[in-house]
Every structure is written in C-alpha cells, then in structure tokens.
C-alpha cells in the first residue's frame, strides 16, 4: 500500500507544504521506489544565474499535478511509492566540493532518482552515482547546447562540460548516447567534431520538426536499446516561448508538447534515473518554465513507476 499525495478534495492545492506533487516526504514512508530530490546549486553557470531557486519553483508549480497520467495510462503514485527527498545541500562557493556532496547524497538515497536542479553541472555527480549502481549508462540529453566542451575560463567542471567529463570517466556507454534539441550558434565546427568523437549522436531541434516525433522516438529507442538509461533534461531544450525562465535561452526550440511526447515514447526503456535542470524562476513569466518542468518531472516519475509495475 503506497502513500500518495494529499487529497485535494480535502486540502486545497494552494495550502500545505510544497513537496513535489504534494507527495509525502521520504522520512514519512518506509521505503521509496522513486524519489524526487532537489539540488539548489548554480555556481557552474556561464551566463544568467538563478537555477538554485529551481527546485522550490518546480515544487510549487507541481501542486496542480494530478495522480492519473492518461497519456501513459498509469497512476504513478499508486503503482510505486514516490516520495520527496528534500534538497541536497551543496557548497555554493566550491564547485568541486559541491560535486562530491551531490554524488555522496545521491548514492545514499535508496531509490531511483528524479532530480530537479540546479544547473547542469549536477548531472556529472548524478551520473557517477548511477554508473556505480548500474555500470556505464546510455544517455539521452535534451538541451539546446552540447555540454561537451572541455573548459570554460580554464575550469573543467561547469554546466557546459559535464558530459565530456562523464565520457572521460567511463560513466557512459557511448554506443547509446544522444543529444536532442541542439540548436543555435557554436564556437566553431570543431565543437561538433569533438562531440562526434566522444560518441554522441545528435537530433537537432530542426530534426524534430522535419522528421516528426514518431521517427525521432524510433531513432532514440534504437540508439538506447535495452541499456540502463539516464535522461537529462535541460529546460532550455524548449523554445523561450515555452521556457523563458532559464539561464542560456536559444531561439528555435522544442515545444513543451513535443518534449513530453518524446519522453512518453520512451515507455518500456530501462530508465534508471533522470534530472530536470536550469529552471531559473527569476526570468520566468507566469511560472511558464516551472510548470513545464513540473510536467517533465511528472512524466519521468511516471516512466519509472511503470517499471515498478513490470517488476
């Protein structure tokens, strides 16, 4: 018997603690199958800061989520015990210390994680924790940017470098790694050459438009196969019309509908963890970005809950 969200027919959605989807805290359940955890850290950004406030904003926006997911035909909070694990405290002044703290805390949570950032730097320690449990993982990376650059201002650990470090550390199964939604100007053609050499496939935002969702989903599923899969979603994969509240916006992105449909197309894949990052509420309008991110997180939780049904 699972403990689900607060009953909105008894307690209005705008009342009570703002856990994700109004779920119980991790300390209120005996054992969680899936845990939603925040990482309020943004010391790795290269442009606009503010993603440290992302977890709180996404939780607040998630108050309106309901317990049945019709597109996936699952009641995720009945199918699996889902809980809010609170926030991982990370040093805001020392990126290296923050990465170590995030890795250690993620390993210490005995559940599959959907993590809300925070900037994309946090993907590296989360992938370390996932790879330690599952071996090298496949990766689907939804983003406007490659995030496989080598350094920024000589710094190796930033929100633009996590996936290069992940490849170098052997955390990824490079036969099953892809970017989705890439667009916008680059520093040079070498960026693409370096990315290809690291093993990544690319489906650009234009590819999603021209090739269509069914073909994109098929390409991604073939790429991933039955490998353990980690999904990392930078909310700037969405067009600024759908996600203005982010640190490095780029025109020409996916719609929220396209992103959600692609995620739903991953049903049946061996998902082992996920993150949603780069929500910066200071630049948001009417909570558009936070609302989109809350639905992305809900879909990821639902996919993980469906796996519990099979087992």
Distance CA 13, CA 273 (A): 28
* Sheet-wide strand order for 34-39: 82-87, 34-39, 112-117, 271-277, 229-234, 137-142, 172-182, 201-204
**119 annotated as ligand-binding:** no
In the DSSP assignment, the letter for residue 287 is T
Kindly provide the b/e burial profile for residues 156-175, where b requires at least 16 CB atoms within 10 angstroms of the residue's own CB.
ebbbbbbbbbbbeeebbbee
Number of helical (H) and strand (E) elements in the chain, helices listed first = 10, 8
Is 147 marked as binding a ligand?
yes
| Contact yes or no for 260/303 (Cβ under 8 A) | no
Tokens of 117: 């950032």
Closest CA to 231 of 148, 103, 130: 130
For residue 165, give both structure tokens. Answer: 């470090």
161, 150 Cβ separation under 8 angstroms = yes
Tokens of 56: 């709180």
- What number of other Cβ atoms are within 10 A of residue 150's Cβ? 12
Residue recorded with tokens 């290069």: 164
CA-CA-CA-CA torsion sign (290, 303, 162, 37): positive
Q: Which residues are annotated as a binding site for Mn(2+)?
A: 120, 143, 145, 147, 234, 236
Q: Which residues are annotated as a binding site?
A: 120, 143, 145, 147, 234, 236
């Amino acid at each position: 018997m699972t403990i689900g969200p607060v009953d909105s027919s008894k307690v209005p959605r705008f009342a009570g603690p703002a856990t994700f989807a109004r779920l119980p805290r991790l300390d209120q359940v005996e054992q969680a199958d899936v845990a939603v955890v925040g990482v309020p850290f943004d010391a790795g950004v290269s442009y606009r800061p503010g993603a440290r406030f992302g977890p709180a904003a996404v939780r607040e926006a998630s108050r309106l989520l309901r317990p049945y997911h019709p597109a996936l035909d699952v009641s995720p909070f009945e199918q699996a015990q889902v809980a809010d694990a609170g926030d991982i405290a990370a040093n805001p002044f020392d990126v290296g210390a923050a990465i170590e703290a995030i890795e250690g805390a993620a390993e210490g949570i005995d559940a599959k994680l959907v993590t809300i950032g925070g900037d994309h730097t946090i993907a590296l320690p989360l992938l370390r924790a996932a790879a330690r449990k599952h071996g090298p993982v496949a990766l689907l990376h939804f983003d406007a940017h490659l995030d496989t650059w080598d350094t920024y201002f000589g710094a190796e650990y930033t929100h633009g470098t996590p996936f290069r470090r992940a490849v170098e550390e052997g955390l990824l199964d490079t036969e099953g790694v892809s970017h989705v939604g890439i667009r916008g100007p680059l520093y040079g053609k070498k960026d693409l050459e370096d990315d290809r050499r690291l093993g990544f496939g690319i489906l650009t935002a234009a590819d999603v438009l021209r090739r269509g969702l069914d073909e994109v989903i098929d390409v991604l599923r073939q790429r991933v196969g039955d490998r353990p899969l980690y999904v990392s979603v930078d909310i700037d994969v969405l067009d600024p019309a759908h996600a203005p509240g982010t640190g490095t916006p780029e025109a020409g992105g996916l719609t929220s509908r396209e992103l959600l449909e692609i995620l739903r197309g991953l049903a049946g894949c061996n998902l082992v963890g996920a993150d949603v990052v780069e929500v910066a509420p200071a630049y948001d309008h009417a909570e558009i970005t936070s609302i989109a991110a809350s639905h992305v997180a809900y879909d990821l939780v639902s996919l993980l809950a469906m796996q519990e049904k099979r087992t």
